[in-house]
Amino acid sequence: MGLTRQDFRDLFERQRDPLYRFLYRLTGNRADAEDLLQDAFAAVWRKRDVYDGRGSLDGFLRSTAYRLFLNEWKKTARRRELAPAPGPERTAPATAGEVADREAQGFLLAQVRTALDALPESSRQAFELFRFQGMTAREISEATGTPVKTVETRVRRATLALAEALGRYRHLQAG
């Protein structure tokens, strides 16, 4: 079936602004959102013969944009792991309380990361998009091609699993 030039124009006119807002919400950065927007439309045009008309064209575009975002996000995360950004220069030595606070925060963040990493990929992804990226269940549904109720269930299960994992830490800390 494929995508005609007119279908593509209509898609571009209809989805340019909503997709930009979606990508801006994911990235929090105008330049990155604009780059991803262009990449998404270019990818859909390159794959125009792949689109068979079974799903919505808007959903095809949004899922393409979301996959591009995830790829960029993973690359950026890998870069940060390999070469972390330098911290601010300190002019005076840290006090014992500051060191203890930083160590406690670091430990807690490590516990959260470990608990997140232990979640199934689908639940972790839904949770991170919902909690960290501020997306709605409907937006996540459209981006991932997953039913809204499934997204809501995944976010709930992830929230409960994280609460349980961090609750165990709190009990250990109190004891």
Among residues 51, 84, 117, which one ends one of the domains? 84
The whole-number pLDDT of residue 10 equals 93
Asked whether residue 102 is domain-assigned, the answer is yes
Chain-wide mean pLDDT for the chain?
A: 81
Residue 43, pLDDT > 70, answer yes
Q: How far apart are CA 45 and CA 31, in angstroms?
A: 21
* 167 and 127 together in one domain: yes
User: What pLDDT, on the 0 to 100 scale, is given for residue 115?
Assistant: 82
Instruction: State mean pLDDT over 128-156.
Output: 86
Q: Please say if the pLDDT value at position 86 is more than 70.
A: no
Quote the domain boundaries for residue 157: 95-175
Quick one: 77 and 8 in the same domain? yes
Specify the CATH number for the domain of residue 147: 1.10.10.10
Could you report the per-residue pLDDT of 92-119, keeping only the tens digit for each? 666 766 767 677 777 777 777 788 888 8
Rank 40-44, 95-99, 164-168 by mean pLDDT and report only the highest.
40-44
Token pair for 113: 């990361």
Query: Which of 157, 95, 97 is closest to 121 using CA atoms?
Result: 157
3-state SS of 16-70 is: HHHHHHHHHHHHCCHHHHHHHHHHHHHHHHHCCCCCCCCCCHHHHHHHHHHHHHH
pLDDT at 162 over 60: yes
Domain match, 76 and 119 both? no
Same domain, 21 and 49: yes
Specify the 3-state DSSP secondary structure of 4.
Answer: coil
Which residue would you say has higher pLDDT here, 1 or 32?
A: 32
